[in-house]
Structure 1
Amino acid sequence: MTRPIPALAIATVLLATALGGCGGGAAPMTFDLAALPPSGRTVAAARSIVVAEPVGIQPFEADRIIVREPGGALSFLGGGQWADRLPRLIQTRLIQSLENSGRLRSVSRPGDKVVSDLQLISEIRAFDISAGTGEAVVDLSAKLIAEGTGKVAAARIFTARVPVAKVDAGTGAMALDRALATVLAEMVQWVNSGR
């Protein structure tokens, strides 16, 4: 499922003019990821969910855009960074996307002290530019855990690949945002279907 990407889906705003005179080198541009837009419909919602921050290997715990070389080596793409640590940014956009679907009673974070029916836990398996294939790759595994019993109610892997015309910060961030949009749409549908 694809959706149109708004012209301002990627905010390349924080150009850090204040840092211009501090030390050498230009400040990296900062990029954001977009949540799915509001669906415009609300249904009688019976379930509530807590969305945990995704986990991932150390390079994904940072705010840097990652390039995966053909041999498997990971490097940081110069000239750009995410607006926050990647796991927290994905968690925030997933929460917003679930809220925007209008199909859940509540969507919260662990620690919000909201009683919920399910917890969504996930792992970042890939969120990088594959230099070998010229694609932005987003790969998240997810589990829905019943809060009362701790049993896994459902589990699934979500993957999207988007071609990248060239490996630079702006093009790479935009392609990763588009790939995440596909994954978010599938995850929201999956959570709302109760599977």
Structure 2
Amino acid sequence: MRHRLSTPAACLSGLLLLSGCSGLATLAEVATPSELYMLSPKSTFGANLPRLTQQIVVEEPTATAAVSTDRIMVQPSPLRVQYFPDVRWVDRAPVIVQTLLIESYENSGKVAAVGRSTVSLRADYLIVTDIREFHARVMSPDEPKTSPLEVQVRLNMKVIDASFDRIIASRSFEEFMVSQSDEIDDVIEAFDEALGKAMRDLVEWSVREISAHARRPDPEG
């Protein structure tokens, strides 16, 4: 089944229920979804990344209740949050991001060991992430019939020295990607590209930060 979003401010072609179509209660009553979507890890990184001997644990990212769900969020206006009915992520968004970050670190080939805290891996460094933005939005609410959808992904990341429980680096990574059309498959592709770019930059930056910190004569200083 192909889902299309052609009238976001009116009914979004029956997918996104806005004013004039039905209330939010209808969205909350959506039955078992007909389609599940997943995203992909990054597999290509800069050739000059340093190699780490330290072990990394990636914590499950924090997020607001609007994001910490398996529902795919869309904002028809800056102060309005709704979800695509009949489609879901394969898991809650923070769990997806955590899993993809771990796979991306592994794919870099530059980390000795990486995992999640639930596997009792002794961490030298912790990766703590907050998902600030993870949604599609209508770019021109005044002209919904011709407006494309733009995906925004913003991750705020902290690298923590686990031995001293100290933050050694912090940075925000943000990407925007306009979908090729308003069909749900194209919107998911935009999510994948935006998150992929953010994760690539995040992994490369954090590996360099950890490498530089570990080489200091006094890592606590």
Please give the TM-score of this superposition, normalised by the length of structure 1: 0.80
Match of 1:138, as an amino acid? V
2:135 corresponds to 1:135: no
Q: Which residue of 33, 42, 53 maps to 2:39?
A: 33
**Larger mean Cα displacement after TM superposition, 151-160 or 61-70:** 61-70
**SS at the partner of 2:177?**
strand
Match of 1:109, as an amino acid? R
Residue 132 of structure 1 and its aligned partner are, at CA, apart by 2.7
2:90 corresponds to 1:75: no
Q: Is the 8 A contact 1:54 1:123 kept in 2?
A: yes
Task: Trace 1:56-135 onto structure 2 (pairs within 5 A).
Answer: 56-132=63-139, 134-135=149-150
Match of 2:134, as an amino acid? F
Q: Is the 8 A contact 2:37 2:90 kept in 1?
A: yes
Superposition RMSD in Å: 2.3
2:194 corresponds to 1:179: yes
2:197 corresponds to 1:191: no
Q: Is the 8 A contact 1:79 1:169 kept in 2?
A: no
- Aligned-partner Cα distance in 2 for 1:164–1:111: 36
Q: 1:43 to 1:186 in 2, by over 3 A?
A: closer
Q: Is the 8 A contact 2:31 2:86 kept in 1?
A: no
Moved over 6 A (4+): none
Count of aligned pairs between the two proteins: 172
Q: Is the 8 A contact 2:58 2:116 kept in 1?
A: yes
1:125-144 superposed Cα distances (whole Å, 9 cap, x missing partner): 01100113631100010000
Residue 38 of structure 1 and its aligned partner are, at CA, apart by 6.2
- Gaps in structure 1 of 5+ consecutive residues: 1-23
**Larger mean Cα displacement after TM superposition, 98-107 or 42-51:** 42-51
Residue in 1 that maps onto 2:168:
153
Residue 158 of structure 1 and its aligned partner are, at CA, apart by 0.4
Please give the TM-score of this superposition, normalised by the length of structure 2: 0.71
Identity among equivalent positions (%) equals 25
